[in-house]
Structure 1
Amino acid sequence: MVQTFRSRRAFIAIVVAGIAFAVLTGVALLAYLDMESRTFDSAALHTQHLATADSALVRYWLDQRASDVSIMSTVSRVRTEFPKYLAGDPAAKVWLQDRLETERAMRDYINVSVFTLDGKRVLSFGEHDTTYDERHSATARSVALPTSKMTMTSHRDASGAYHVNWFGPLLVHEAGAELQVTGVIMYEADLQRYLQDVIGPEQEVWPTTIEVRVANEDGVSIARSTSGFAFQAADATVSLDEEVRSSVVLPLKGSSISATVLGADIRSELAWARQSVRLADFGVLLVFVLFAWAYTSGEKSRLGEIAAREAIADALATQDRFLENMSHDLHTPLNSIIGFSALMSRGLAGPVTEEQVRQLAMIESSGKHLLALVTGVLELSKTKAGQEDVRLEWIVATEPVEFVTDVLTPAVAEKRLEWRVNVPEHLELRTDRRLLERILLNLANNAVKFTHAGSVSITAAAINDGEEIAFTVRDTGSGISPESMDFIMKEFMQVRAPGQLKPEGFGLGLTISTTTAALLGGRIEVESIPGKGSAFTLILPRNTGAVT
C-alpha cells in the first residue's frame, strides 16, 4: 500500500514536472523570439546612429574644404597676385609659391593648382596625376566666368584612393569696374585618407562595417572600413549579406555620396541566446522535478519575482534621477559655452579671423543642439517622476494658441506655408497655461517640420457637451504610415519618409507631450493619411480637477 502510494506520488511528480517543462519551454521559445526581434531592432537603431554620425563627419569634411576654396577665390590676395605672376612679376611668383604650398601642407591637400582662363594649369603644388588633366582643364574653363560658382568633381585612382576636387573662380571687383575673373583655383583632397583617419570598424556592440558609396560620371564606387576604405567599382564588390540591418543614404552637396552601415555577427550572438534557452530549459526541468517531488508551493519563486520587480523599479527610478541630475548639471556649462562663443564670434573679446568666426559659429550651433536635447530629457524626467509643478488657472483658449503662432511664424514664413487658426474667442478652460503651451508648441513644431508645402492649422472646440476642450493641430505633410503609429510616442523614435533625410530633433517631443497631457488629465489622439498629412488632437477636461 505504501509502495503504491509512493509510486503514484512519483508518477504525479513526473507528470507535473513534464507539464511544467512543456509550458516553460513554450514560454522560453516566445521569450527568445521576442529577444530576437528586439536584438534586430537594437541593431537597426545602432547602425542608424552610426550612419548618421559618420555621414556628418563626411559632410563636415566636404563643407570645410568648400569653405577653403570659397575664401581663397573671393577674399584672398591670390586673386590679385596671380595676374602679376602671369605678367612675369618674380615677387608675385615667390609669394604665390609660399602661400599655396603652405595652404596645401597645413590643410592636408594632395594638390593645389591655379589655372588660366583658358584652362591651362600654370601653378601646381603637391602630387599631380596627369591622367585627369584634360578633365580638370575643361572644368576650369567652365568655372572661369564671373557668374560661375564653385564646382566639385571627383575620381577614383587605381590604388583605391578617392580624390575630390574643388574649383573656384578667382574673383576681383575693383572700384568702378565690373566683376572680373583672374583665374581658377583647384584644391584636391583624398577622401579615403580622411575616412581612415576618423572612421574605423565598429566593434563596441557588434562587429559593424562602415560603407561609403560615391557616384560620379565614371560610375558608382564603394569603400568599406573592413578593407581600409579602398574604393572600387560597385560591380566589383561582394554582394551584401542578408544580415544587413540598416542602410542610410545621404545626399551630399556637389556629389552623390552614400553611407551604409552593416550589422554583422548578430546571428552569432543569438546562437548563444539559443544555447542559453536550452540550458535554461534543462535547469527548469531539473528544478521542477525536485519541486514536484518535494511538493513545494512555489512561494520562493513568487517572492523572487516580487524582489526582481522591485529591483527593476529601483533601477528605473535611479536612471530617471541620474538623467534629471545630469541634465541640471549640464545646463550651466552649456549656456556658458553658447554665450561665450557668441561673444567671441562678435569680436567682443578681441579680434577674430573669418576662419575663427566660422568655427565659433559651429561651437555655438552644436551647443544649442545639445542644450535642446538636455532640456528635453529634463522635461521628460520631471514629468515621468511626477515632479512637474502644475498651476491651474482659468485661461482663454486663444492665448496659448497665439503664443504658439508667434513662436513659429518665422519658421512658417521661411517654408512659405499657410497658417490657419480657428479658435472661438470666448472658449475658456481651467488648466496649466505653461504646460498647455508646451504641448501645443511641440505638436505645431512637428507639423511645420514635416510639412514642405500647403498649410498648418490649429483649431479648438468644446466637445462632449462642453465637458472637454479639443485642440487639433493639422498639417498637409508627409503623413504617418499605419505601422509607424505604434512607436511614434516612444522616446527617441522618429518617423522618416523614404528618400528623406533624418528630421531634426531627438524624438522626445511627442513623448513629452503625451506624458504632460496625462498629467493634466487629458490625452492625445492621432489621425494620419500617408502622403496627405496628419492631425494630432489634444483633449483636456474643461475644468481640470486635482492632478495626481
Structure 2
Amino acid sequence: MLQRRVAPRRLQPVQPRAESQCAPRQHAGLEALDTVPSPLLQAAARRVEARWHNEYGDRFGAEQVAGLLRVLGCAVWERQQGSQAPVDARAHSVLGRRLLELLRAELIRTWGEDSTAAVQMPAMLAGIERVRESIEPDWTPYFASRLSGPDGLELLVQVAHDLRSPLTSVLFLADTLLRDQSGPVNELQRRQLRLIYGASLGLSALADDVITLAKGGDHLVEDNPVPFSVTAMFMSVRDIVRPIAEEKDLSLRFVVLSTDHRRGYPLAVTRVLLNLTTNALKFTEEGFVTVYQPFRRVAGPDRSAFCFSRAGLGLAISRELVRAMGSELSVATRPERGTRFSFTLHLPPVRES
C-alpha cells in the first residue's frame, strides 16, 4: 500500500516545470519575480525588494536586486522539490547572501502573521538553509589547516575570548529582565528568558573551559592563597545558576560553615562549584541541589548515573583544578538517591579584624 502511494508522486512532472520557470534570463527585471513558482516565496521576495528600495534606493540597481531575489526564490523552491542543481553563480555574492537572509526573515515574519503559511514554512526554511549552504564560502578547509597548524591553539583561544563578551552581555540583559528592572514581564516571557539565560550560561562556560584547557586545565589564577568570604562565594554561584533552577522548579540549598573567612584559591573553587552545580541542575528533574561544607564535599543529587556535561570539558577541568589545589575530585552514586561529587581542601581560617 505504501509503495503504491509513493510511486505516483515520483512520476509527477514537477521538476521540468520548475526548470522552465526558473531558467536564467539575460534581462531579469522587476517582472522577473512573477516567475518564482511559490506564491509565498514570491510575496516575500516582493516585500524584501520594496524594503530594500526604501532603505537603499537604487544603490545596487532595482533590476539587479529583483533578479537576485528571483534566483534565490527559484533556488529555494527547487531545493524543496529535491533538486541538487547548482545555484546560479550570481547568488554567490555578498549581496546574494544578504538578500537570502532578508528573505528568510520575511518568511519567518509571515509565519507569525499568517497561520495558513504554517504548513509550507518548515520545508521552505529547510530549502533556504540548503541554498545558504550552497552559496556560502566553505571555510572548513581553511579552519582545519589553521587549527592543525602551529597557531591552532591560539586561534581556538581567540575564538573563545571573542564569544565571552557578547555572551556575558546576554547573561546580564536576561538577568536584568528577569529581575523586572526594565519593567514587568509575564510568566511566558520569564520562562523564555530563563531558557535564554541557561543556554547562554552553557555557551559561556564552554568558552571558559576551552580557554582553561588551552592553558593546561590546571592553571590557578591566584599565584598564592588569598583571603576570601565563603558566603560571598556561595552567593555568587547561587545568583549565576538561580534562573536555571527556577526554570526547572528546583530548590538550591547552600550551607556554610561557622567560620566565613578562609585563605585559599577562591576563583578556582568558585569555578569548580559552578561547574558541578550547573551539571547537577542540568540532570536533576525534581527535588533539590545542595552545596554544603565547601571544603569537604560538593553535592549534586541526580537521577542519572553521572553528571557529565555533553562536551565533558567542565568535569575534566574541575578535576584538574582540584588537583592543582592539592586534592582529588571523587564521585559516588546511589540508585534512586542521586550522585555526589566531593573533594577536600585545607583552607585555614582567617582572623577577622
Q: TM-score, normalised by structure 1?
A: 0.32
Question: Which of the two has higher C-alpha Rg?
Answer: 1
Q: TM-score, normalised by structure 2?
A: 0.48
Higher helix share: 2
